[in-house]
Structure 1
Amino acid sequence: MQCFRGHALRRGRYSETGRLYLLTTVTWQRRRLFDDLFAGRQVANQLREIQESGLASTLCWVLMPDHLHWLVQLEAGSLERVMQRLKSRSAKAVNAFMGNRGQVWQKGYHDRAVRSDEDVRQLARYIVANPLRAGTVRRVGEYSLWDAIWL
């Protein structure tokens, strides 16, 4: 069943350079790896590295204990390449930091192309408010694992 769902996530996927995408990926078995701030910083470092490489421009992101929401503009390559790079490199960094081996992320990811008529700032506010809706914090500023270009 899990293989089918991963395959279904890829059906109809199209990568368009210059388009904005909301990407979501989940930790392996929904483990709460990123309750640990420093493990989460390993993922944040990889998000920054992808931006510096020119593959994608990050507009905002929030890393929850068991998943990531990432609003990006694809600059080069494909969504698959960007996500493979993020997941591979962040998994190595998180495992090295925690002294673990094995999977960090589930296979596949969810992507949604952002329509040109959508309010991108409103979408970004929704993304970074994830910890509020989850009841993790009472104010966004109390949560450390997020960023947005509008700061």
Structure 2
Amino acid sequence: MARFRRVFTPGATWFFTVVAARRRPLLTDTRVISAFGTAMREVRLTLPFSMPAWVLLPDHLHVIWTLPEGDTDYPRRWSIIKRRTSQLAGLPPMARTCAMVARRESGLWQRRYWEHLIRDTDDLHRHIDYIHFNAVKHGHVDAAASWPYSSFDRHVRTGTYPPDWRATRDMDTFDAGEP
């Protein structure tokens, strides 16, 4: 069995990449969006965290979380969010391997996720830019403002970005953990 080494820093800020199983483009299905939003709200009621930035794409998502002081349990949050989203989405049953059935996996999500501990303010800003550029990077839209499934609008309202923000050329080569 694989043993993963994860860093657990209390109250830290994390960048995550979570992927749909087999990269199926299901995450922007309205049922999944609604279920995912409900699951996030439910988890944040009992296991709070702040979410400085996020983007939901058809086959994966990126998000930044800051956990409360003294808290390191992001794996539990992801486990509940993924399970609850799968329960609420109401999608038809998906083909699953024997291993997926044994692990009680729904077939909506890849088993694991990628995390990165945000080191400093510069690292945080680079990852927020990466998140908001991601729909452009993958060719879904020509400008971040055109993608409806991200925190970009919130950042425009708070003055972080101008409405016509375009990422710099080096965003094309910045790899923030894209699987």
TM-score (norm 1): 0.80
Answer 1 or 2: higher relative contact order, Cα 8 Å, separation at least 6.
Answer: 1
Unmatched segments (≥5 aa) in structure 2: 95-105, 158-179
- State, as a whole percentage, how many aligned pairs show the same letter: 24
Corresponding residue number in structure 2 for 1:14: 7
| Alpha-carbon displacement from aligned partner over 1:22-46 (angstroms, at most 9, x marks no partner) | 1111111111102424422321332
Looking at secondary structure, tell me which structure has more helix per residue. Answer: 1
TM-score (norm 2): 0.69
> Considering only CA atoms, is the larger Rg found in Structure 1 or Structure 2?
2
Tell me the secondary structure at the aligned position of residue 34 of structure 1. coil
Tell me the secondary structure at the aligned position of residue 138 of structure 1. coil
Instruction: Kindly report which structure 2 residues correspond to 1:2-151, keeping only aligned pairs within 5 A, or say none.
Output: 7=2, 11-75=4-68, 76-94=71-89, 96=90, 98-100=91-93, 102-147=106-151, 150=155, 151=157
Q: Could you tell me how far apart the structure 2 residues matched to 1:43 and 1:147 are? A: 15
Say whether the 8 Å CA contact 1:64–1:131 is kept in structure 2. Answer: yes
Tell me the secondary structure at the aligned position of residue 103 of structure 1. coil
Name the count of aligned residue pairs. 142
Say whether the 8 Å CA contact 2:54–2:61 is kept in structure 1. Answer: yes
One-letter amino acid matched to 2:86: A
Say whether the 8 Å CA contact 2:15–2:127 is kept in structure 1. Answer: no
Q: Could you tell me how far apart the structure 2 residues matched to 1:72 and 1:13 are? A: 16
Tell me the secondary structure at the aligned position of residue 146 of structure 1. coil
1:92 is displaced (CA, Å) by 1.1
Unmatched segments (≥5 aa) in structure 1: none
